[in-house]
Amino acid sequence: TSGTVQCSGSEVARSVYLRQVSNSQENKEHSARSNAFSLTPVAMNGLRSLRRYVATWDFRATRDDELTLTRGDILLVAEKFDDGWVRGIRMSDLEVGFFPKDFVAEDTSPIYTLKNIVPPPEGYIKDPKFAEYDSCKRSKIAMEICTSEESYYKKLDTLDKNLAGPLSRNGIITAEECSTIFRHIQVLLNLSHCLLVHLHSRMEGWDERITLIGDLFLDLGHHMKVFISYAVHHVIGAQLILKLNNQERFRSWLEAAKEECEWTLNSLLIEPIQRIPRYELLLKDLLKYTAVVRKGVWRGRSIV
């Protein structure tokens, strides 16, 4: 249910459009976009404004900050610009970049407009199996999943903007050392961002009788493997930090940064390690108060 783009002109017109990307005016506008918006997830106050789009044409990136599109790609659009470009996330691999808005169309699939879901039959609500479960507790657990993800995202965002970013630019440590310490942080940040977008959508249209949460984790499950890679490299990064702490310049900079970001470097780096057990506990609690007649519950239990 992706819909189609009403494009003016033919393939020739689209080719002309792409050639125009490289002219001087477009270069100037593209530079302004790059300066104004770094390729990082949008701020927390912008999460609710994201819209789900689908690529209706193939697009090949010509710059490092652009995003190659294949027809059918699902994207979340974060920013729109007057020159006809947008910035968004490709859901298949969580890559962030710019692309022309004429190559995508808003996806109006009903699964993502949960407020319009038809309520379940009255007989389902009266089913004694359903009545065994405390729907109020289920709602509270769902809200905790959402709010705890917001807190986790905020800490990762702080780690990226207040520590990883400045350290990669100020020359206190080498680029290789920076990569070792902060490896996979950007991927984890984008993953949390995508999960939050969908969690907010579910909570805004929350109906304790029918709204699902677990399917979001199933859909993003293959991306969760990054936590394994992060855990392995976290040990290496922690050893490097111990070594760098012997350098006065590095140690002093971290002390100053702590005052600004409220958390220590090590306390922020351990967050992804602690997040997976937290997911497990919250999802198990959610299952306790989810009726077994709900489709997919048994599959969810086996996965958890």
pLDDT greater than 80 at residue 41:
no
* 60 vs 127 pLDDT, higher one: 60
How many other C-beta atoms are found inside a 10 Å radius of the C-beta of residue 85? Answer: 19
At 78 the pLDDT is 75
CA nearest to 184, candidates 257, 263, 272, 87: 272
Q: Are residues 127 and 206 in the same domain?
A: yes
At 88 the pLDDT is 84
pLDDT greater than 70 at residue 162:
yes
At 135 the pLDDT is 63
Q: Are residues 87 and 127 in the same domain?
A: no
Angle at 72 between CA 67 and CA 73, to 5 degrees: 35
Per DSSP, the residues of 192-226 read HHHHHHHHHHHHHT--TTT--SHHHHHHTGGGGGH
Q: What would the pLDDT profile of 12-40 be if each residue is shown by its tens digit?
A: 444 444 444 444 444 444 444 444 333 34
pLDDT greater than 50 at residue 10:
no
* 41 vs 157 pLDDT, higher one: 157
Residue 245: CB partners within 8 Å, gap ≥ 6? Answer: 251, 254
Per DSSP, the residues of 115-139 read GGPPPPPHHHHT-HHHHTS-HHHHH
Residue 133 lies in a domain: yes
Q: What would the pLDDT profile of 84-131 be if each residue is shown by its tens digit?
A: 999 888 877 767 889 999 999 987 654 433 333 333 444 434 445 444
Query: What average pLDDT does range 73-86 have in this prediction?
Result: 85
* pTM exceeding 0.95: no
Q: Are residues 41 and 189 in the same domain?
A: no
Give the domain extent around 266.
114-303
Q: Are residues 238 and 203 in the same domain?
A: yes
The total of structural domains in the chain comes to: 2
For 141, half-sphere exposure in the C-beta direction (CA atoms, 13 angstrom radius) is 23
Q: Are residues 139 and 284 in the same domain?
A: yes
What average pLDDT is seen over the chain?
Answer: 76
Q: What are phi and psi of 89, to 5 degrees?
A: -115, 130
CATH number at residue 30: 2.30.30.40
CATH number at residue 121: 1.20.900.10
Query: Which helix H or strand E contains 96, and what residues bound it?
Result: strand 95-100
At 292 the pLDDT is 58
